[in-house]
Structure 1
């Protein structure tokens, strides 16, 4: 009986689950219609339009809000379909034959009116991408005669008005300019007929703003010539420049090229009924930016966005105009803009993004791209087009990846997207990727920016790891004849180091030709990454002392016991015959390396070791003093960093990780790491043949970037905490005041009003403000020390003890033209200049905050100097903080 009851219960439960699934999967007719609109064009958009229009009209009663929402989703999340949504709305705008009620607005008009409400919501939230794509939709509707030209003009002029705002940020102005310019590109044929002077006004406003960004463009060029102020470079295009070139071309032809640049599926439709009045877009005002006056409520993501948006966007070109579209032309700009929007929107789903990118020709004009191999050629190539789709996509992705100072999305997104494209179509995408790698490798000799070269090496290594590390390395064997610090040879070392991180040393070594495997090729490390415990060899000095400390760590002795043992060890060494040695340094070396040796098995071992012996590390950082208060001893903290770097010299990735943990637990400060990096960074894991008076490479930059990000991150966390506590404190005071007002005391008319209760300070807020002040001081110190380090390296004082002409040689035109004869010192100097540029542009918001102090401290000695290196240092800094001279 019990078994039957259980069975019956199970059956009822299964039946209930089935009924729940049926209810969950049920779609109303409105839902089905919404999905049908969003999925427009899965087979052939042109053929589907009349059928979809009939499906919309047949659903009674009509749910205008539901239809409008489907249009908004389609326009803002599938921008390649915008011309076809405009065509669909154009069909809905016409009244069907036999319609009795001709007085009310057409269905298309009702949908458009509701769509406008959504656009206004996007604008109010300053959702720039959605706003711009809605303007595309309105521009197409203007050409289709559904929106009046004068109202579209007024809308575009509202965005050009942003360019005249006092102190407008570059990011805000750039987005507003794109809204106006792209709306003009699409709606130009109708707008110019209506008012040619209005078209000229819009173009002049954008050009006037663009003229103010010349200095900023100079600092973010992907191909740099340090000596030159020329902004227009070969193999590189800036976003606003290409936009204006395309606009000028369209305007010169009276926008005749619009029809050959943007699809217009509605162009073949008959003109709408003249009795129907076009829709007038209501007047709008672009909302201002939100500015926090106290400076304590900026979110970290918002601050990161500021860094990205406050610079022009320079896209690197890899191929000729016959292979990929020239973005300076209307058709080329339209293609790249559509691909970039797809990259941006589908960042959440790289697989779907890859599929849509390869299907993009379906949404463009016929003949734009070459047909797929084996496909029937039933369409003649369009004049001046017939581009290679895969090369165009890869060029666009790499251009977005290499934008300086920071790409819009994480590098891993672009890298994984290229991998998905290769998986979807290996026979066509693979060759395009190979050609791109060779083009980028060739540009290393022509001045490819050091940050772009670092990202290139990262992409190359990850891409190789996804495809069996297969690359034709023998193509690059002749480059081994170049000087050891030439950018191409530096790229090989960096890429192989990244590959080893993703695999293991012996496997990567076997993929290389013999010429690259030789130790004197300086291409790959001789030993596999691993720890380097200096006291492991019984024959090494102080082996027994190190073993005694190791045994304490292995036995999980208390930190105080280890400190006492180290004190006794120090006494023993001091009383020995080795009086010439630095006892403190020896004891510190034994302690740090022994602790790292215990933690070298895994990350968890490392964290456990550091956390268990934090008192010991603080004692060492204070120089061994009994008191661990204060900021510690600078020499002792530098010694800890030196020992950590020596222990992990065969695995430079671990150096950065250990440094990060030491900063996280406040054993050392970011300023200590920056100082140490400028002095000792180039000696870590590098043969002496690679070192030089100026040797700031990507490894040292990563260490400094980690230190600066740590300092900046702490300030942002403290800022948010102070803002939250202030809000909490204000709310508490407001509630107390409200309660007091609800219960007023009865007093005589002649009595004096009761004095207000003294306000008690919030101890948590006071503590948070002190912490914020301290961390801000630390942030300023780290930035100042970094700037001083670059200044000392690139414009050293002309003394006999520090003769270094290389920094000044590489910034002259004559020096650059003579780069074929440069040695390692010249290339080291050139790379250091590149990292200085990256420092200034990447941390410009922070440099701007302390510009007065930093300028006084770092550039004071250059007053009245005519040193070209000093002038270039100052100019680069001024451009970064927006005070170009």
Structure 2
């Protein structure tokens, strides 16, 4: 007994010792740094004097350590910037323990070291950190710690970027935000110093913004196909909002700045400039963009390096100005800018981001948001404010999520963040989410962009899956009277298809009202997703032939044996069947569907089946089972895609997956998938009777996007491989040359030049592959553009498959959209996907703009057809040929 007690004591003693060994002992400098970063966890105003004393009492003071803490706080906790400025202001007061031998105050020393970090951010073109540091300097200008003249010089160095020749939109936009937001915050002191400079900065941003009106037209979230004018009711473009805010502030001499940003330092005694002159920010130049050239251009049309195209940022508005702030006014712009910074900085931790978003009101001027229920109203609401926090947060998140052509972060981040907010405060965030869903749903009939609608359906389905798929579907039952392809009804089908993927068909069916469950409602499929083996029924033609092939697959027969059997099967069918049937198509369908039937149990079964019978698939794709191979036959590849789509017609998600695997194993090319999608995509699925020829819905767009991304991705990988091999080859040649020079100092120079150069076979192979893949990429883009032109300008083709395509061009037709039917809405959606194609793939389209224009548009020169003109206008904006 005593032994066990002593043993237990020893175990506890050993565990305590191990715990002590694992403890992290912070140095005094680390504790001080942590205290600076934790400023404001309770009450920032009350903590400032205590933190000032803690910094002063730290002896010897490590200025770089303290300055680094300020830089981290400013760039990673930007909502605290006004309070860090106030802390610098307190540290700027003279004190015996706050000066060095040069007589500089502690605040001045920290600020000088802080500037070094800012210069590093600028040299690296770390735009977000640079902009937030400018916020910090702007607050210090108002606090009289930084001179207005040097601040003007800093802001003007960024407006100079806007005048650079050929400046990219992304670079110009970031520079404009640095200059404009610095002016918004520091405006009260800057305008007192020089009203002329204020006007010059605003005009510089305005001049650049005037050059991108056509780009704004292409990315606005609500569209009217006929309109050539940038006119939007429920969205705000980022630079437009910045300019409207600046002009509103300037008209009122920046008096509204104090109501838009906290300024705790204004309550401190003013600094005497005679005894403590303000800090002059050193002059800077914004470094040029880094352009990496890899020299792989095959001709003059192709740029050396494809970079992601940056577009104007339109944020969708969901609520009225009395519910969420108007970003075109100073306070509203300040709120949205701060919330977007939190979203972007804390993308690595959505739970922390959700917490900070709900705590954001403590960092705003009193009265900005309505107090929480039951909380004391400590401040009277400011006129034009008193907004709803949760609605503002959800609107900001969805605005960032729905930016066109794509959001800054993955969709799952925004979706997961909204879920975390609902978990933290379900009673307040839940109603805001519900209102947002209803507002977006209402916008579907008002021209909401098709890509925005697709993401909306994705978010809706995932959000419902996190909360038991509970939604008041009966609210939307009256919309069943709308045209079957109306955007609202299309949204219902798309959202329910996503929900079924995340759950089960029967479960989702039970959540719907009876009116939506009916087959003639065309809202949800009648049966659960699954395979449809055409030859499974003994009463169907060719059942026995399919079973014989299926048995070979089940027995894991060799690919050559299956090919031989298919040859025999083809011969027998040619003998027994009448001549009007396509025997090759039947044999091809039997082979592909039988193989997919074997792989239908799981993804691993599918991959194993495809990999085992790659020779068979390549043989079928070559144009016939009796062929010896080859590069492929367009008709045979289309037949493979048709057979695969027919097998999975009740599960369109699997259609996309199988197509991706067929492209991955190079059974079909991306061009084949694009061509097949335009001609056959709308015929797939239980609701295929709703589609029109040569029209695109979100499903067809997903297939096309997968094909284009595959082609572009292959080129990118090949480019990187060639670049790496070239670098390796250059290094090898340099080492050989250096070694030869070292070992042959007395050899004649002419003989050194005769040193044979050995070709790199790996580089040669990689260059050939790159050339081939580039050709494939160009073909896929060209086929996509040709398909859109044929769909949207049918009058220019021999046939007229969709006569309603042009009805959406005129304003009168749009105003009468309540009477539109299936064909008109199909055409409208196809126009939307054409816009998305042009803006999402604009970097690649610019590479081949001359070739693609010649193939698709040259034949329309001189045409006055409004459809042709709109096609050309959209193309020109996307490729940068229409300012």
TM-score by shorter chain over 0.5:
yes
Moved more, 669-678 or 86-95: 86-95
Secondary structure of 2:795's aligned partner: coil
2:358 corresponding residue in structure 1: 358
Structure 1 residues 821-856: Cα deviation after superposition (integer angstroms, max 9, x where no partner): 100100000000000000000000000000000000
Shift of 1:529: 0.2
Shift of 1:777: 0.3
2:774 corresponding residue in structure 1: 776
2:786 corresponding residue in structure 1: 788
Q: Does 1:339 align with 2:339?
A: yes
Q: Is this contact kept in 1: 2:682–2:693, CA < 8 A?
A: no
Shift of 1:374: 1.3
> In structure 1, how many angstroms separate the alpha carbons of the residues matched to 2:801 and 2:498?
35
> In structure 1, how many angstroms separate the alpha carbons of the residues matched to 2:272 and 2:187?
22
Shift of 1:210: 0.1
2:744 corresponding residue in structure 1: 744
Secondary structure of 2:714's aligned partner: helix
1:633 corresponding residue in structure 2: 633
Cα pair distance change 1:459/1:855, threshold 3 Å: same
1:420-459 alignment runs, 5 A limit? 420-459=420-459
1:102-117 alignment runs, 5 A limit? 103-117=102-116
Q: Is this contact kept in 1: 2:791–2:802, CA < 8 A?
A: no
Cα pair distance change 1:351/1:578, threshold 3 Å: same
2:842 corresponding residue in structure 1: 844
Structure 1 residues 158-199: Cα deviation after superposition (integer angstroms, max 9, x where no partner): 100100111000000000000000000001111111111111
Secondary structure of 1:693's aligned partner: coil
> In structure 1, how many angstroms separate the alpha carbons of the residues matched to 2:491 and 2:346?
31
Q: Does 1:141 align with 2:143?
A: no
Q: Does 1:854 align with 2:852?
A: yes
Structure 1 residues 594-626: Cα deviation after superposition (integer angstroms, max 9, x where no partner): 100010011111011101110000000001265
1:818 corresponding residue in structure 2: 816
1:20 corresponding residue in structure 2: 21
> In structure 2, how many angstroms separate the alpha carbons of the residues matched to 1:296 and 1:57?
58
> In structure 2, how many angstroms separate the alpha carbons of the residues matched to 1:386 and 1:348?
31
Shift of 1:806: 1.3
Shift of 1:768: 0.4
1:391 corresponding residue in structure 2: 391
> In structure 2, how many angstroms separate the alpha carbons of the residues matched to 1:506 and 1:129?
48
> In structure 2, how many angstroms separate the alpha carbons of the residues matched to 1:402 and 1:657?
25
Q: Is this contact kept in 2: 1:223–1:448, CA < 8 A?
A: yes
2:290 corresponding residue in structure 1: 290
1:449-488 alignment runs, 5 A limit? 449-488=449-488
Q: Is this contact kept in 2: 1:621–1:633, CA < 8 A?
A: yes
Cα pair distance change 1:404/1:304, threshold 3 Å: farther
1:62 corresponding residue in structure 2: 61
Q: Does 1:760 align with 2:758?
A: yes
Shift of 1:34: 0.6
Structure 1 residues 728-772: Cα deviation after superposition (integer angstroms, max 9, x where no partner): 001111111111222224358xx9645421211111001000000
2:191 corresponding residue in structure 1: 192
> In structure 2, how many angstroms separate the alpha carbons of the residues matched to 1:507 and 1:702?
26
1:45-444 alignment runs, 5 A limit? 45-96=44-95, 103-274=102-273, 275-294=275-294, 306-307=308-309, 310-444=310-444
> In structure 2, how many angstroms separate the alpha carbons of the residues matched to 1:781 and 1:7?
76
> In structure 2, how many angstroms separate the alpha carbons of the residues matched to 1:496 and 1:752?
76
Structure 1 residues 506-557: Cα deviation after superposition (integer angstroms, max 9, x where no partner): 0000000110000000000011000000011111111111111111111111
> In structure 1, how many angstroms separate the alpha carbons of the residues matched to 2:109 and 2:74?
17
1:589 corresponding residue in structure 2: 589
Q: Is this contact kept in 2: 1:395–1:436, CA < 8 A?
A: yes
Q: Is this contact kept in 1: 2:656–2:703, CA < 8 A?
A: yes
Q: Is this contact kept in 2: 1:618–1:628, CA < 8 A?
A: no
Q: Is this contact kept in 2: 1:94–1:273, CA < 8 A?
A: no
Shift of 1:14: 5.5
> In structure 2, how many angstroms separate the alpha carbons of the residues matched to 1:110 and 1:97?
14
> In structure 1, how many angstroms separate the alpha carbons of the residues matched to 2:48 and 2:726?
56
Shift of 1:479: 0.4
Q: Is this contact kept in 1: 2:692–2:802, CA < 8 A?
A: no
2:301 corresponding residue in structure 1: none
Shift of 1:694: 4.4
Q: Is this contact kept in 1: 2:678–2:694, CA < 8 A?
A: no
Cα pair distance change 1:877/1:667, threshold 3 Å: same
> In structure 2, how many angstroms separate the alpha carbons of the residues matched to 1:98 and 1:621?
83
Shift of 1:647: 0.2
> Which runs of 5 or more structure 1 residues have no equivalent in the other structure?
none
Shift of 1:583: 1.1
Q: Is this contact kept in 2: 1:445–1:487, CA < 8 A?
A: yes
Cα pair distance change 1:537/1:99, threshold 3 Å: closer
> Which runs of 5 or more structure 2 residues have no equivalent in the other structure?
298-303
Shift of 1:630: 4.0
Count of residue pairs the alignment pairs up: 873
Secondary structure of 2:259's aligned partner: coil
Cα pair distance change 1:355/1:28, threshold 3 Å: same
> In structure 2, how many angstroms separate the alpha carbons of the residues matched to 1:778 and 1:803?
28
Q: Is this contact kept in 2: 1:171–1:306, CA < 8 A?
A: no
Cα pair distance change 1:678/1:560, threshold 3 Å: same
> In structure 2, how many angstroms separate the alpha carbons of the residues matched to 1:878 and 1:601?
47
Moved more, 874-883 or 796-805: 796-805
Secondary structure of 1:260's aligned partner: helix
> In structure 2, how many angstroms separate the alpha carbons of the residues matched to 1:883 and 1:101?
59
Moved more, 697-706 or 790-799: 790-799
Cα pair distance change 1:768/1:102, threshold 3 Å: closer
Q: Is this contact kept in 2: 1:91–1:108, CA < 8 A?
A: yes
Q: Is this contact kept in 2: 1:159–1:179, CA < 8 A?
A: yes
Q: Does 1:539 align with 2:539?
A: yes
> In structure 2, how many angstroms separate the alpha carbons of the residues matched to 1:99 and 1:292?
47
Alignment TM-score, normalising by the size of structure 2? 0.96
Secondary structure of 1:210's aligned partner: helix
Q: Is this contact kept in 1: 2:505–2:528, CA < 8 A?
A: yes
Q: Is this contact kept in 2: 1:221–1:236, CA < 8 A?
A: yes
Shift of 1:377: 1.8
> In structure 1, how many angstroms separate the alpha carbons of the residues matched to 2:627 and 2:859?
38
> In structure 1, how many angstroms separate the alpha carbons of the residues matched to 2:520 and 2:728?
64
1:866 corresponding residue in structure 2: 864
CA RMSD in angstroms, aligned pairs only? 2.1
Cα pair distance change 1:718/1:42, threshold 3 Å: same
Shift of 1:382: 1.1
Shift of 1:493: 0.4
Structure 1 residues 395-448: Cα deviation after superposition (integer angstroms, max 9, x where no partner): 000111110000011111001100000000000000000000000000000000
> In structure 2, how many angstroms separate the alpha carbons of the residues matched to 1:700 and 1:576?
38
Secondary structure of 1:237's aligned partner: strand
Shift of 1:232: 3.2
Q: Is this contact kept in 2: 1:159–1:180, CA < 8 A?
A: yes
> In structure 2, how many angstroms separate the alpha carbons of the residues matched to 1:821 and 1:101?
80
> In structure 1, how many angstroms separate the alpha carbons of the residues matched to 2:810 and 2:371?
48
> In structure 2, how many angstroms separate the alpha carbons of the residues matched to 1:246 and 1:515?
49
Q: Is this contact kept in 1: 2:563–2:625, CA < 8 A?
A: no
1:491-640 alignment runs, 5 A limit? 491-624=491-624, 629-640=629-640
Structure 1 residues 290-328: Cα deviation after superposition (integer angstroms, max 9, x where no partner): 11233559xxxx989723xx2000000000001000000
